[in-house]
Amino acid sequence: MSLDLEFRLRAERTPNPQSIKWVVHPPLATGGRSAHFRNAPVPDHSPLAAALFEIPGIDEVLVVADFVTLTKRDGVDWPDLAEPVARTLETWVREARDVFGPAWPDEAPAGRGDDERRILDVLERELRPLVARDGGDLLFLDYRDGVVRLALQGACTGCPNSTQTLKFGIEERLKAALPEIREVVAV
C-alpha cells in the first residue's frame, strides 16, 4: 500500500462572495469532525484555526475533513489573502499537524431519541454533503416541539442564498423524512 503524500490545494468560489472554499489533499481532519470558528480559538482547541486567524483579514474559519472555508472581512481582497492562506495550509498538511488540539471537546451526543437519530441520518447522508459543495456545513442543535434548530456554518453564514437553502432545501427534505417536523430554523 502506498500513501499519497502529494499536497494539493484548490480555491473554489462559494455563493457567499465573502467566503472561499479551500479544498485540501490530503485531508486535514478525520472521523467526520468539523468546526466553525467566528473568533480565533486558543491553539489548544484548534491550532490550525488559530493560525488562520493570525492572517490579517480573516473573519471566520470552517474546518471540515477535506476543506477549509474562510470568510474575509469587508475591505480585504482575496488576492491579498491567497498566499498566506496557501502557505499555512500547506505547512499544516506537510508537517502532519493536528487540526484539533488536546482541549477540543469530544462530540459524543448522548441520549438521542429516534426522531433526532433520523434527522441526523438525513443530515449526514444527504444534506451536509450538498451544503459542503458550496463551502458550508450544518450543525444539528436540537429538535423540540416539531422544530429543528440548526447552525449554518462556513460560507452559509451571511450568504444571500442561505434562507432559500434552509427553507426550500433542508426544511423540505427533513419534512419529507419526518412529516411531524413543522419548521427548520437557523440559529
Residue with cell 499536497: 7
Domain span at 77: 8-94
The amino acid occupying position 108 is A
Alpha carbons 160 and 128: distance in angstroms, whole number: 18
In this structure, are 39 and 67 located in the same domain? yes
In this structure, are 87 and 121 located in the same domain? no
Percent share of the chain, pLDDT over 70: 93
Alpha-carbon separation of residue 70 from 78, 131, 166 (angstroms): 10, 15, 21
- Is 60 exceeded by the pLDDT of residue 184? yes
Mean pLDDT of the chain: 87
In this structure, are 60 and 121 located in the same domain? no
- Beta sheet of 136-144, edge-to-edge order: 136-144, 147-154, 183-186
Helical spans, DSSP H, in 43-110: 47-53, 78-94
- Per-residue model confidence as pLDDT tens digits over 21-74: 999 988 887 766 788 899 999 988 899 999 999 999 999 999 988 899 999 999
Alpha carbons 63 and 150: distance in angstroms, whole number: 17
Banded pLDDT at 128 (limits 50, 70, 90): confident
In this structure, are 126 and 179 located in the same domain? yes
In this structure, are 16 and 84 located in the same domain? yes
